[in-house]
Amino acid sequence: MKYISKLIVVIAISLLGQYAVAQPPAREREKAKKEQKRATAAIVNMSERAKNQFPTLVVPQEVVWKRDIYRSLDLKKEKNASLYYPVEPMGQSVNLFTYIFRLILEGSVNAYTYNLDGYESFTEENKIAPKDLLDNYRIYYEEKDGEYVVGKSDIPSSEVLSYYIKESYYYDQRTATYNQRVTAICPVLHRAEEFTTEVTKYPMFWLNYDEIAQILAQQPIVTSSYNNVSTMTIDDYFTKNCYDGEIYKTVNLRNLALNQYCKDTTAIKKEQENIEKQLTTFRSNLWETPKPVVAADSTIAANDSIAAPVKEEKKRFTLFGGNKKEDTKKEKAKKSSPKRSAGTARLSVRRTRR
């Protein structure tokens, strides 16, 4: 009996020791989770004054010229890699999709339906519930206390290999400025279905850039492989147009994408170059001034200015029918004859008849 009681005491002490050892990591995880929520809440629940002071460039409702362009950002390109890495969170460093995905699950950021025509609509009826987003794309999650919990490895950030973005180019007549800014973002899932190796693209949802600009301004990213210091935020990255994207659609009267009215890839490439040229030409012609005519050689210009009176003199002889030789003799005779003073009297001689 004594042996059994001692054994029970030993087992109880060992269990208490294990609990004591396991408790600190659990507390640390819980503490880290609470700090992350607090930081997110501080970003999202900004005061109205802070939101108004945030330097977001908003496209005016009334402008004299505007062009809306849709681009596709391939994250395999070097200039776009900052939005993809790290694929899984490394401390405070996360990629764009992981950062946005967490905020959507918490209800801090709104996701909007990607319609079949590819255009965005930021209305209340187009909002996507977090649970519908998880179910539609078969993302594993657990529901705890009314919250959706997705593990690091279950977030499909590795499959988001491209983004669709919408840009607005416009001329603001009130400030006489030409501006360009991103107005919407859509992550695109690249997923191979079962029993096939063919990869299918799934545009997931639209994000209103005006709603998330102040949140993106809180997340730093690394933009260089040679300098691993975070020199800008995600908002800086989009505001400064550091990305490299190909045009796949524009807002046009027929509501067609490039691949719908271009015959092949060569025609699409030519149309992309044509649109880029139109944007560049419009901007360069806004404040164009006449260029002064400069002579190819300064000595030629100098000689022309000296020879101008001579040419004018020759022209005078031709116009008035003068004889160049006779006029030259008269000029010489005038120079050789003595000059009379203004006060000298003229003498006249009369002949008398005899």
pLDDT in tens, 262-316: 999 999 999 999 999 999 999 998 876 556 655 455 445 445 544 455 444 444 4
Q: Name the pLDDT band for 318 (thresholds 50, 70, 90).
A: very low
Residues 6+ apart with CB under 8 A from 149: 141, 142, 143
Question: Euclidean distance between the first and final Cα of the chain, in Å?
Answer: 193
In the three-class reduction of DSSP (H, G, I as helix; E, B as strand; rest coil), residue 214 is classed as helix
Write the pLDDT tens digit of every residue in 153-199: 999 999 999 999 999 999 988 888 899 999 999 999 999 877 778 89
pLDDT confidence band for 90 (50 / 70 / 90): confident
Distance of CA 167 to the CA centre of its chain: 7
Alpha-carbon distance of 341 to 334, in angstroms, equals 15
Structure tokens at 281: 């030409």
For residue 231, name the pLDDT band (cuts at 50, 70, 90).
confident
Alpha helix ranges (H) inside the chain: 2-44, 48-53, 96-105, 130-136, 209-216, 234-239, 258-261, 265-286, 298-320, 324-336
- pTM, full prediction: 0.70
* pLDDT tens, position by position, 99-132: 999 999 999 999 999 998 889 999 999 999 999 9
